[in-house]
Structure 1
């Protein structure tokens, strides 16, 4: 094995069998400047937001952005969200409409991503998938806002995980997937919301469209802008088979190692059937549902909290899906949540993670 030290004494790299490996370190508030130096040098640093951890690169550095796709194993036509440190975005987008200004005043910083028509030659082509639009958001995480300022330019920040797997909500989740592949992780502890931001398209002639549900609901957006907001499934998408405008629209996401079955009813019947086949079962459900299951001593369980607290289910969902990767189970049975408020986002992620629904 040979060693290579990068110019500027920023990091040690290790080459083995043609693959670059590096020591991944944790950054904290006192050494954010060091993390920003790595970013400026074209390296990748994961950072916390209030939703999930993002995999950061300078959004104008095409080589660094391409590295994000490579490290994650992410399809190159799946666009990236750009994270900004303020609502002063006029230099990045073609127009900041009155509607956009209202939404930024109401929900930035926060879990709302807005899609704008992009100005040419500002961001790396690989950020937008060579489309004419860009997705921007201002995260509600002080360390990350400071990191963006230190870096001197907005950062891309797709979830800091292997593509298709549950998103990371803790630093250890990032390290599980990406240790040795990226320079470092800014340690912000566990994230507060746990599912990715709401993505709202402001560039469609039919009106604002939610392309991905999140913590900011349609009802909340409509109150601010005083007009109809569409959900993606309610309007026809002419380019459904082409490049998606936002993350989470086209590809399989959020899947653990085991198959996930969404249970609408008859939990006892499904559990009995699986136990008779000598299947080892994991249960991802509310406190109330777990308490109902008389065979729970034979099951591996992960609670999402009370069914009355959907925000807690949102926060714990990805940690729960990841939990079973470390358990001796063959299949995960997951509870169906009401599609109300943030429950819409929870079910969006569970439906994408699920193999089947029972009963069909």
Structure 2
């Protein structure tokens, strides 16, 4: 499993001078990759269409796919939105700084480029100390209103980065990277849409639907493919978060025949909970990884694991389908989109 050094262990290694330099780069319209508690982001000035265009170009991201604006802890979300509903303020009070993104109606002076041309905008305030230092320094350069647009710092559709090294593997020396250690949550933020008068979960994450319901007094609408009026949001395409090695997500009783029928000399990866793996954990030609039984630990390790399996010299990655329960909704979402990338190729 990936190194699990905590963000606070290395935050002090990013000094004030480095933070100031990175903030100045953002102010000049350049891009900076930085750590958050979820994944590493590829940041640019959220009010500069040119900087946003550079993000899209670097990632190879479709320009109609919105990016999330990251705010400093003392940032004012009212600057970015046409109106801040009371439900939004309640969620901000409960979960910011933290891994929750809110979709709200965009203020007229905020460029549409940050929203993929939509009239909404996604906002969040990350809790990682390096992210907070960078966002605070950049905001100070903009009279307290600086925001950083930052999708995950990887090529579009690929596995998101949770370490600075992952970012370097994607972009080499082309992107300046602040190294804040491994991300502690490990998957992207929960996205809740409040732009239509009711709460709707667009992307599951560390903040659960029940967490949201506990604050708002009602369960958000869950993504089921039928919400045709939902705004486009980061990480909600059917195929996403995919490794380069073909990946299948199947119930364990379906995986077993595939393991038994593999070609002579073929080496495959099996990711399953140890309680289910049985004889396959020691089988020749099977690179077995014991999956965490806890959904938050699974989420934290997921992207580092997929990147490691891309380097493991296996022909396929076979992953045990997880329980279809609310506790596993975020991990199931990421694994399902990763598998869909290969289902699309086979179609």
- Quote the residue 2:307 is aligned against: 322
2:165 aligned partner: 172
**Counterparts of 1:1-360 in structure 2 under 5 Å?**
28-30=14-16, 31-86=18-73, 88-122=76-110, 124-152=111-139, 153-182=146-175, 184-205=176-197, 207-233=198-224, 235-238=226-229, 245-250=232-237, 252-266=239-253, 267-276=255-264, 278-290=265-277, 292-305=279-292, 307=293, 309-354=294-339, 355=342
Structure 1: how far apart are the matches of 2:119 and 2:99?
A: 23
Partners of 1:274 and 1:125 lie apart in 2 by 50
**TM-superposed deviation, 1:282:** 1.2
1:284 touches 1:303 (CA, 8 Å); kept in 2? yes
Contact 1:304 1:316 in 2 (8 A): no
Q: Distance in 2 between matches of 1:141 and 1:73?
A: 26
The Cα shift of 1:295 comes to: 4.4
How many pairs were matched up?
Answer: 320
Please say if residues 210 and 230 of structure 1, whose CA atoms lie closer than 8 Å, have aligned partners that are also in contact: yes
Secondary structure (helix, strand or coil) at the match of 2:122 reads strand
Q: Give the conservation status (yes or no) of the 8 Å contact 1:102–1:225.
A: yes
Q: Which runs of 5+ in 1 are unaligned?
A: 1-26
Q: How far apart, in 2, do the equivalents of 1:45 and 1:34 lie?
A: 10
Three-state SS of the structure 2 residue aligned to 1:55 is strand
Residue 298 of structure 1, CA deviation = 2.0
Please tell me whether the aligned partners of residues 153 and 160 of structure 2 are also in contact (alpha carbons under 8 angstroms). Answer: yes
Aligned with 2:260: secondary structure? helix
5+ long unaligned stretches in structure 2: 1-12, 140-145
Q: 1:166–1:256: 8 Å Cα contact kept in structure 2?
A: yes
Shift of 1:341: 4.3
- Report the Cα distance in structure 1 between the residues aligned to 2:209 and 2:52, rounded to whole angstroms: 31
Q: CA deviation at 1:147?
A: 0.4
Report the structure, 1 or 2, having the larger helix content.
2
C-alpha distance in 1, partners of 2:304/2:95? 26
Displacement of 1:235: 4.2
How far does residue 292 in structure 1 lie from its aligned partner after superposition? 4.6
**Equivalent residue of 2:319, what SS?**
strand
Distance 1:202 1:28, change over 3 A: same
Name the CA distance, whole Å, in 2 between partners of 1:175 and 1:96: 37
CA contact 1:216–1:342 (8 Å) conserved in 2: no
Task: Supply the distance in 1 between the matched residues of 2:58 and 2:157 (Cα, whole angstroms).
Answer: 13
| Counterparts in 2 of 1:347 and 1:251: CA distance versus 1, 3 Å | closer
Change (3 A) 1:35 1:290: farther
Task: State whether residues 264 and 336 of structure 1, in contact with CA within 8 Å, keep that contact through their aligned partners in structure 2.
Answer: yes
Deviation, 1:339, is 3.2
